[in-house]
Structure 1
Amino acid sequence: MKVIIASRNPKSKTFPITLDLAGDASSLTLTDVSKALHQKLPKYTPDRQRITTQDKKVLVDDKSLADLGLKDGDTLQFKDLGPQIGWRTVFLIEYAGPMLLHPIFYYLPKLIYRSGFEHSSLQKWTFAMVMLHFLKRELETLFVHRFSHGTMPFFNVFKNSAHYWFLSGINLAYWVYGPWFAQGEKLAVRSDVWIYGCVAVWAWAELSNLITHVTLRNLRPPGTRVRAIPFGYGFDLVSCPNYLFETIAWTAVCFLTTSWSAFLFNVVATGQMYVWAVKKHKNYKKEFSTYPRNRKAMIPFIA
């Protein structure tokens, strides 16, 4: 079977090219096309290819070309996604930022603030919560998460990391660990009930977030892109309880510190997670006709 690959870049001097595939439309898949293109042009690894129909319709990898409506001699459109980096690596880089930056601000106040001081309970608990949160995220990345997409464009790692390295890294650390929140300062005064109440809510939300991540992991067998409807703790109310619980955890940090920097990070993070939740919620409803209608995207009973 012959398939013509044309570039979406009209100035391309490499395309169009013709691929001669061993088989027919009923036995070949888009994965076979991708591998053949990589064999002919080694620069374009399967991860950096986006192959669509001429009207830019996205094709499913594991369906036969016949099922996709393709026949001998048809033309497909190719887009180069650029150099790629693994999602797992991206997550590890993102979460490493706060884990490296917070200890610098916490343990080296003379270097950062030009003065030494004793940390308050507020600062000690905030430091512990932030470090444990990102340690949990690193461990989840290594041992829990299963990714439906193996890679992303390499240069996106800088954009994605900026959110964590600057907003939850430098921004949060500088303002929370400063002398204005030090032991003995009026701004640092918190009752034990206030402190331990915030810590308790944070701990419950972090544990709940982990439970939902494990639930999602168990839906996808290793090495597959299988999708299924999640049920159980949190999922009876919303499609993305992992985002809901993460928002609650950071809200607890906000109320513990009452720092504008924590609220800024939380607002930006929650806004982004809500956008992702709405998209996933719509995909669930589109993909599964039996998807529970009473679920919301991220906020129970609301949205």
Structure 2
Amino acid sequence: MVLTELLLRFFYSPPSSFFISAMSIINFASLANSGFMESKGKNIQYAKFFNAGSVKTSSADKKAKLSGRIGMLIFYSPALLASVASFALFPDEGLRFDLLRLALTIHFSKRVFEVLLIHKFSGGMEVEAAIIISFSYFASTATMIYAQHLTYGLPEPPIDLKYAGILLFLLGISGNFYHHYLLSKLRTEGDKRYKIPQGGLFSLVICPHYLFEIFGFIGVSFIAQTLYAFSFTLGTLFLLMGRSFATRKWYRSKFDNFPENTKSLIPYVF
């Protein structure tokens, strides 16, 4: 009871929606499990982990594959469309809702921009994986927007976090973009060799872009102040912890001179 009262100071009352409650549990469990599986070496088949450490079989060779650029456009485009469409589907539902969908629109617009103009790709991905990941982004985004819609007319949480959320979101998206830019400068056009990243926070952690992505999603959950947004952010934290752990392990296996003091995600800690 005390915990419930404490949570209700920070979040809207959970809506009487079985769908949102179920999605909160499913999304968190799915993301956390994905992070655990990646930490154990069972990586999503894209980017540098495509077929990494595995022997191709004839059945795997026959699976349809996409270029990295096309695959990642498939990842993000439906979620971006959902964010933009929400302005027409749910007009005039208050500042908080507008800030949330604006943040999601900026987030996915930035990702599409990076895919088109920033990132350099050396690998590919399976069509099946691209479709699954794309649906996951779309479903999570649409559910977060719908969960916010269900708060319309409800009393605001006693502790207002949306302005702190705006600052965290801006910090996260700018830091994420900066470190993606540094990664893009590691290789010239046509160069498919991987190198140890330099600059920014790369001397402290191998995945500072993930660290700032977490800041960004904490900002989003502070803007929303719904339990669904919080569960999604917590699941994302576990996912990126597992992915950063796998990334550091991959770099250590490829580079004998990888700095031992460079952590996975959190400077000096993890």
TM-score (norm 1): 0.66
The 10-residue stretch of structure 1 (269-278 or 158-167) with the greater mean CA deviation from structure 2: 269-278
Out of 194, 207, 228, the position equivalent to 1:261 is 228
Q: What corresponds to 1:203 in structure 2?
A: 170
Matches of 1:235 and 1:159, distance apart in 2: 30
Runs (5+) with no aligned partner, structure 2: 1-50
Instruction: Check 1:231–1:301 CA distance in 2 against 1; reply closer, same or farther (3 A cut).
Output: same
Aligned counterpart, 1:127: 101
- Alignment RMSD, CA only? 2.3
Residue 262 of structure 1 aligns to which amino acid in structure 2?
A
Shift of 1:295: 1.4
Cα gap change, 1:101 to 1:189, in 2 (>3 Å) = farther
The answer to whether the Cα contact below 8 Å between 1:237 and 1:296 also exists between their aligned partners in 2 is yes
Q: Which amino acid aligns with 2:199?
A: G
What is the DSSP-based 3-state SS (H/G/I as helix, E as strand, rest coil) of the residue aligned with 2:185? helix
Higher share of residues assigned strand: 1
Alignment of 1:33-52 (within 5 A): none
Against the structure 1 CA distance between its residues 267 and 190, is the aligned structure 2 distance closer, same or farther, given a 3 Å change threshold? closer
Q: Deviations over 1:79-113 (max 9, x none)?
A: 5241112221121122112221133334223xxxx
Match of 2:147 in 1: 175
Runs of 4+ displaced beyond 3 Å: 103-106, 188-191
Secondary structure in 2 matching 1:237: coil
Q: In 2, distance between residues paired with 1:209 and 1:100?
A: 22
Shift of 1:296: 1.1
Decide whether aligned partners of structure 1 residues 222 and 281 sit closer, same or farther in structure 2, where only a CA change above 3 A counts. Answer: same
Partner residue of 2:183?
216
Q: C-alpha separation between the residues in 1 aligned to 2:169 and 2:85?
A: 23
Say if 2:139 is the partner of 1:166.
yes
Structure 2 distance, partners of 1:128, 1:164, is 16
> Relative contact order, CA 8 A, sep 6+: which one is greater?
2
Q: Counterpart of 2:98 in structure 1: which amino acid?
A: K
Instruction: Give the Å deviation of 1:208.
Output: 0.7
8 A contact 2:74–2:131 mirrored in 1: no
CA positional deviation for 1:288: 1.8
Q: How does 1:45-194 map to 2 (within 5 A)?
A: 80-109=61-90, 118-149=92-123, 151-167=124-140, 169-178=141-150, 180-182=151-153, 185-187=154-156, 191=160, 194=161
Question: Does the aligned pair in 1 maintain the 2:68–2:122 contact within 8 Å?
Answer: no
Distance 1:282 1:165 in 2: 30
Q: Offset at 1:272?
A: 2.4
Task: Determine the structure 2 residue equivalent to 1:236.
Answer: 203
| TM superposition shift of 1:187 | 2.5
Structure 1: runs of 5+ lacking an equivalent: 1-49, 59-76, 110-116
Verify the 8 A CA contact 1:181 1:187 in the aligned structure 2.
no
Contact 2:251 2:258 in 1 (8 A): yes
Alignment check: 8 A CA contact 1:235 1:241 kept = yes
Larger Rg: 1
Identity over the aligned pairs, expressed in percent? 24
Could you tell me how far 1:212 is from its partner in structure 2? 0.4
Q: 1:195 to 1:258 in 2, by over 3 A?
A: closer
Contact 1:81 1:153 in 2 (8 A): no
Q: TM-score, normalised by structure 2?
A: 0.73
Cα deviation, residue 210, structure 1: 0.7
Shift in Å, 1:271: 2.4
Work out the number of aligned pairs and report it.
Answer: 218
Please list the CA deviations of residues 127-173 of structure 1 after superposition, one character each: whole Å capped at 9, or x if unmatched. Answer: 11110110000000000111120x21112222111220111x22111
Compute the displacement of 1:188 (Å).
6.3
Letter of the 2:128 counterpart: F
Please say if 1:291 is aligned against 2:258.
yes
